[in-house]
């Protein structure tokens, strides 16, 4: 009997830890994690640490220099962002992210934009008081 009681107690403790687990990280931390490890290749590998965009490679063809770049993605409309994530790009792989995941990524990237504070103040109609 004692054993069953102990087992039950452990199950409750473990379940509690699992469910509570969600609140161990903040939404911002979660979004940052998702950006670096989105169930597939990291967005940062192509779009840069902050989503600022990156030159992926350069090559020369018939004496002309070309480059392949991943565009900046911290300054897009939500609609454009989601659209790009819902299909396969020419180069970008297709991800199968939920609405929730896309929204978190979107807001995380906005905060990475160097103009974030400026835009935020503009948005609120306040002057930048720094």
Question: Binding residues for ligand HEC, per CB under 6 A?
Answer: 38, 41, 43, 45-47, 70-71, 73, 76, 80-81, 84-85, 89-93, 95, 105
- DSSP assignment of the chain, as one string? -HHHHHHHHHHHHHHHHHHHGGGGS-HHHHHHHHHH-SSSS-HHHHH-TTS--EEEEEEEETTEEEEEEEPP-SS--HHHHHHHHTS--SSSPP----HHHHHHHHHHHHHHSTTHHHHHHHHHT-----
Residue closer to ligand HEC, measured from CB, 26 or 77: 77
Let me know: does 34 contact 25? Beta carbons within 8 Å: no
Give the number of other CB atoms < 10 A from CB of residue 50.
17
Residue closer to ligand HEC, measured from CB, 46 or 110: 46
Smallest separation, CB 104 to ligand HEC (Å)? 10
Smallest separation, CB 118 to ligand HEC (Å)? 21
Please give the residue whose beta carbon sits closest to ligand HEC in the complex. Answer: 89
Residue closer to ligand HEC, measured from CB, 92 or 103: 92
Smallest separation, CB 86 to ligand HEC (Å)? 10
Residue closer to ligand HEC, measured from CB, 17 or 37: 37
Smallest separation, CB 30 to ligand HEC (Å)? 14
């Amino acid at each position: 009997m004692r054993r069953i009681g102990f087992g039950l107690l452990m199950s409750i403790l473990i379940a509690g830890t699992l469910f509570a687990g969600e609140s161990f990280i903040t939404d911002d931390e979660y979004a940052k994690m998702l950006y670096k490890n989105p169930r597939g290749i990291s967005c940062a590998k192509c779009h840069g640490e902050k989503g600022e965009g990156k030159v992926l490679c350069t090559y020369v063809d018939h004496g002309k220099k070309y480059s392949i770049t991943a565009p900046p993605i911290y300054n897009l409309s939500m609609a454009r962002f989601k659209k790009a994530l819902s299909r396969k790009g020419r180069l970008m792989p297709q991800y199968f992210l939920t609405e929730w995941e896309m929204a978190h990524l979107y807001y995380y990237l906005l905060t990475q934009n160097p103009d974030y504070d400026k835009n935020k103040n503009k948005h609120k109609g306040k002057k930048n008081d720094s």
